[in-house]
Structure 1
């Protein structure tokens, strides 16, 4: 009982929690990215232009973040690096597309951003490809 209540990131339950976080949020975000891949031609004409980039390029970068980076996070490979494009994409979505409305129409972007920010700080846990490949 003492071990269960102690604070340590090395507990198996902590790594299991990080695994659940990765599967849930990366899996859900991949669905958004996949939808954008499937409807790329229709969406690329009407997508927002961010920082002077064309709508098609902005959409391509969002697909990279939502689908491919989420795939890396899901399996726990290059997790911290893969979180960065997602955090940037969710920040842009929240501030540009959703006008900073964190509790209304920008709530999903806020939740995804916070989840991936958490994974950036914690890493993927020991149930990940990162842990398997980069044992100390």
Structure 2
């Protein structure tokens, strides 16, 4: 089997791996905001919705979990992508023109990774794919 054929075989699986890792790390941001876990630089605020970041945290929790599981992946990724675009332009861009200086580089990467998932789907290692296979077998 040629190198390109092997890479082509693994491409859908790596899409799933990208989705799982991005979803878990995104979920971790929401957990840190609301649950103070894992402990780190930012202290959690509990379930107080007194700032826009708290609403982003809610999306990070819910969409991050759904994306990691591969359940309702496309709508969850769409919501997450939009949330990160808004977060960038509201919280980061006003501070500095360069993402590496304004701390918005992660928001940009999340925005485009999740936008990609909207179009590419969850990949074969997902609950969405499992439910689809189960429905076709019925």
Q: Which consecutive residues of structure 2, in runs of 5 or more, have no partner in the other structure? A: 36-43
Change (3 A) 1:42 1:16: closer
Name the TM-score, length of structure 2 as normaliser. 0.76
The two structures have a TM-score, normalised by structure 1, of 0.77
> Which residue does the alignment assign to 2:13?
16
The offset of 1:40, in angstroms, is: 3.0
Pairs within 5 Å for 1:112-131: 112-131=110-129
Structure 1 stretches of 5 or more lacking a match? 49-57
Trace 1:29-44 onto structure 2 (pairs within 5 A).
Answer: 29-38=26-35, 39-41=44-46, 44=49
Q: Is the 8 A contact 2:33 2:46 kept in 1?
A: no
Is the 2:77–2:115 Cα contact (8 Å) retained in structure 1? yes
Paired residue total:
122
Find the counterpart in structure 1 of residue 61 from structure 2. 67
Distance 1:42 1:117 in 2: 28
Q: Does the aligned pair in 1 maintain the 2:69–2:126 contact within 8 Å?
A: yes
